[in-house]
C-alpha cells in the first residue's frame, strides 16, 4: 500500500517514482475537509488531474454521483438526461470531463449502502421518522455492486458515462415499511406527487454488468447489509 497526497503533484511523484503506468486507474475518493464546492474541487478535480498526469494510466474510471442530475419530480433519468445546476454537482461534472477527455469513463453511483453504510436502514428499524419526502424516490446501489461496476467499466474499457444504480429506485416510505415489517415492496404506483428521480441502469446492464442485489430489499433478505 502506498499513502500519498493526491492533491500534491510533487508528493505523488516522489511516492510513485519507479512504478510503471497502470493499465487502469479507478479514481474513488470521498469528500474530505468539507462538503462545499471548494472541498469538492480539491477532492475530485485536482486529484484526478494530478493522478492522470503522474501515473499516465492506459484507462481511467472516475467515480461520480447521480447527484449531478437535478431532477426532483419523480421523472426517469438516463445518461442523456439534463445535469448540473448545483455548485458541487458542477464540480463533479468538471471532473467527469477530465476523465472523458482522457478517453476514460465516469460511473455515476447512486446512494451506496452495505456493511458500515446503514444509516437509513438503522433509522427505519428503530422507528425513527423517515427523513425527506416519504413519497420521494431514492436510488441505491450495494457497496459490492458499486465496486463491481467500477471494475467492469475498467476491465472492458467502457468509455463514456454510465449510471451505477440497482434495478429499481424505491420510495422512502416503501423502504421504511419493508424494513420494519420484512415485506416485499409493493408495485410502483403513480408518481405525480413524487419527488426525487428514478435513475436507470439499462446502459450499464446492456454492457454486461448485473447487480448481485437488484434492489435494497434483496440485499436485506440476503443479510448483506
**Using one digit for the tens of pLDDT, what is the confidence trace for 19-75?**
999 999 999 998 666 788 999 999 999 999 999 999 999 999 999 999 999 999 999
**CB of 108 within 8 A of CB of 153?**
no
pLDDT, residue 223, reads: 87
In a domain, 176, yes or no: yes
Percent of the chain with pLDDT over 70: 92
The answer as to whether 1 is a domain residue is: no
Distance CA 9, CA 34 (A): 21
Q: Mean per-residue pLDDT for 81-87?
A: 96
Burial 84-112 (b: 16+ CB within 10 A, else e): eeeebbebbbbbbebbbebebbbbbbbbb
- Please write the tens of the pLDDT for every residue from 134-182: 889 999 999 999 999 999 999 999 999 999 999 999 998 888 888 877 6
Handedness of CA 29, 30, 34, 37 (dihedral sign): positive
Give the total number of structural domains in the chain.
1
Closest among 52, 35, 32, 54 to 43, alpha carbons compared: 32
Could you list the residue range(s) of the whole structural domain that residue 25 is in? 20-221
Q: pLDDT at position 186, please?
A: 54
Percent of the chain topping pLDDT 90: 72
Using alpha carbons only, how large is the chain's radius of gyration in Å? 18
Model-level pTM?
0.92
| First CA to last CA distance, the chain | 27
Which CATH number belongs to the domain containing residue 167 in this structure? 3.40.50.720
How are beta strands 137-138 and 170-171 bridged, if at all? antiparallel
For residue 219, give the C-alpha cell.
Answer: 440485499
- Asked whether residue 11 is assigned to any structural domain, the reply reads no
pLDDT at 183 over 70: no
Split at pLDDT 50, 70, 90, the class of 190 is very low
Task: Give a yes or no: residue 168 inside a domain.
Answer: yes
3-state secondary structure string, 84-150?
CCCHHHHHHHHHHHHHHHCCCEEEEECEEEECCECHHHHHHHCCCCCCCCCCCEECEEEHHHHHHHH
Instruction: Report if residue 3 sits inside a domain.
Output: no
Q: Could you tell me the maximum CA-CA distance found in the chain, to the nearest angstrom? A: 58
Q: What is the pLDDT of residues 21-35, one digit of tens each?
A: 999 999 999 866 678
> Do the domain assignments include residue 83?
yes
Report the alpha-carbon distance of residue 112 to residue 61 in Å, rounded.
17
Q: What is the pLDDT of residue 191?
A: 42
Q: What is the mean pLDDT of the chain?
A: 91
Residue 6 lies in a domain: no
Sign of CA dihedral 56, 159, 80, 108: negative
Could you tell me if residue 4 is inside a domain? no
Amino acid at each position: 500500500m502506498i499513502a500519498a497526497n493526491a492533491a500534491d503533484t510533487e508528493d505523488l511523484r516522489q511516492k510513485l517514482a519507479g512504478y510503471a503506468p497502470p493499465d487502469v486507474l479507478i479514481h474513488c475518493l470521498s469528500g474530505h475537509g468539507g462538503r462545499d464546492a471548494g472541498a469538492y474541487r480539491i477532492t475530485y478535480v485536482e486529484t484526478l488531474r494530478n493522478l492522470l498526469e503522474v501515473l499516465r494510466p492506459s484507462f481511467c474510471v472516475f467515480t461520480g454521483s447521480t447527484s449531478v442530475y437535478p431532477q426532483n419530480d419523480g421523472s426517469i433519468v438516463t445518461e442523456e438526461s439534463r445535469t448540473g445546476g448545483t455548485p458541487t454537482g458542477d464540480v463533479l461534472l468538471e471532473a467527469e470531463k477530465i476523465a472523458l477527455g482522457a478517453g476514460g469513463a465516469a460511473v455515476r453511483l447512486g446512494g451506496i449502502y452495505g456493511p458500515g453504510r446503514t444509516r437509513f436502514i438503522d433509522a427505519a428499524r428503530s422507528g425513527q421518522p423517515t427523513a425527506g419526502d416519504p413519497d420521494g424516490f431514492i436510488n441505491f446501489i450495494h457497496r459490492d455492486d458499486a465496486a463491481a461496476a467500477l471494475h467492469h467499466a475498467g476491465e472492458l474499457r467502457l468509455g463514456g458515462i454510465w449510471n451505477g444504480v440497482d434495478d429499481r429506485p424505491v420510495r422512502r416510505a416503501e423502504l421504511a415499511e419493508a424494513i420494519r415489517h420484512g415485506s416485499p415492496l409493493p408495485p410502483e404506483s403513480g408518481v405525480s406527487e413524487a419527488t426525487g428521480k428514478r435513475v436507470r441502469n439499462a446502459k450499464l446492464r446492456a454492457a454486461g454488468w448485473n447487480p448481485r442485489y437488484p434492489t435494497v430489499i434483496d440485499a436485506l433478505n440476503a443479510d448483506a447489509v
